[in-house]
Structure 1
Amino acid sequence: MPVLAALGQGGPLSQKELARLARVEQPSMAQLLARMERDGLVERAPDPDDRRVSLISLTAEGRAKLPHAHSALLDTNNRALDGFDPQEIVVLQDLLRRFLANLDADCRSAGGDS
């Protein structure tokens, strides 16, 4: 979903940019993109500014899947938050933001890209 969302909002993007946005390692992103390309959801084209880099964009089929993917994500989110009151959701979101910020800081201090 992060790849579909990122490409749906702006694309085309490089594999490196997508890995950073999805917070995964480059090899994992390469495998994911290979499967998505095989399934006809994304396509690659050479970057006109750097021929060593491929830019990934959604195909028409990939764009057609965006609404369903978004709906599935919302349904999952709603099920996960079932029984939480609005204030608890705010607290949870704050805690998760801090959690991710700590992970990002740890990766930066360790010299990681993701």
Structure 2
Amino acid sequence: MTFSKEHSAGFVANHMARLFAHGLARRIAPLGLAPAQFMVLLELWQEDGLTQHDLVTRLDVEQATMSNTLRRMERDGLIVRRAHDHDRRARRICLTDKARALQAAAIRAAQDQNETALASLSDAERAHLMALMHKVVGAMRRNWGD
């Protein structure tokens, strides 16, 4: 079999991710959010006060990318940086009231995007797809250095 994009898991996953991101971007733009900001907010809505290092690790992004995203979020009034209780070098990233107020609408937008994307799948197919994607992500994280 010759290599083609239709048979490349990487190509298909990347294509699907771009389409998801584009759809999400359209849905959260009226809230003043970008997809990268939304991903950070999801982590902070779950656990406010994480460090930049925590966010880099949890979201598997480059330090410079996270730094730029957090700078924009701070400029937009979504986060503030506070001193860390136990590490004078680290800063905690904390949500503002503005960011907390966006949570319900932003999550609803993401749920709508997911529903649109997965509409042609049965509940069992959705569960299977999610399980397989998590399995692949886990394998890639374990082999990150390869």
Q: TM-score, normalised by structure 2?
A: 0.71
Q: 1:53 Cα shift?
A: 0.7
Point out the structure with the larger strand share: 1
Aligned with 2:80: secondary structure?
strand
Unaligned runs of 5+ in 2: 1-37
Distance (Å, rounded) in 2 between the aligned partners of 1:24 and 1:5: 15
1:18-56: CA deviation from partner (whole Å, max 9, x where unpaired): 111122111111111011001000000111211111110
Structure-to-structure mapping, 1:6-21, within 5 angstroms: 6-21=43-58
Q: Percent of aligned positions with the same letter in both sequences?
A: 34
- Give, in whole Å, the separation in 2 of the partners of 1:62 and 1:26: 22
Which residue number in structure 1 is paired with residue 18 of structure 2? none
Which segments of structure 1 move beyond 6 Å, counting only runs of 4 or more?
none
How far apart, CA to CA, are the structure 2 residues paired with 1:4 and 1:48? 21
Does residue 88 (structure 1) correspond to residue 125 (structure 2)? The answer is yes
Which residue of structure 1 aligns with residue 59 of structure 2?
Answer: 22
Across the two proteins, how many residue pairs are aligned to each other?
109
- TM-score normalised per structure 1: 0.89
Aligned-partner residue type, residue 92 of structure 2: L
| 8 Å contact kept, 1:45–1:55 | yes
Q: Does residue 143 of structure 2 align to residue 106 of structure 1? A: yes
Superposition CA RMSD, Å: 1.3
Which structure carries more relative contact order (alpha carbon 8 Å, separation 6+)? Answer: 1
Q: Does residue 114 of structure 2 align to residue 77 of structure 1?
A: yes
| Partner AA of 2:76 in structure 1 | D
Q: Report the Cα distance in structure 1 between the residues aligned to 2:126 and 2:57, rounded to whole angstroms.
A: 26
Q: What residue ranges of structure 1 are gaps of 5+ in the alignment?
A: none
How far 1:17 sits from its partner (Å)? 0.2
Q: Does structure 2 conserve the Cα–Cα contact (< 8 Å) formed by 1:2 and 1:21?
A: no
CA radius of gyration, larger in: 2
> Within 1, Cα distance between the matches of 2:46 and 2:139?
26
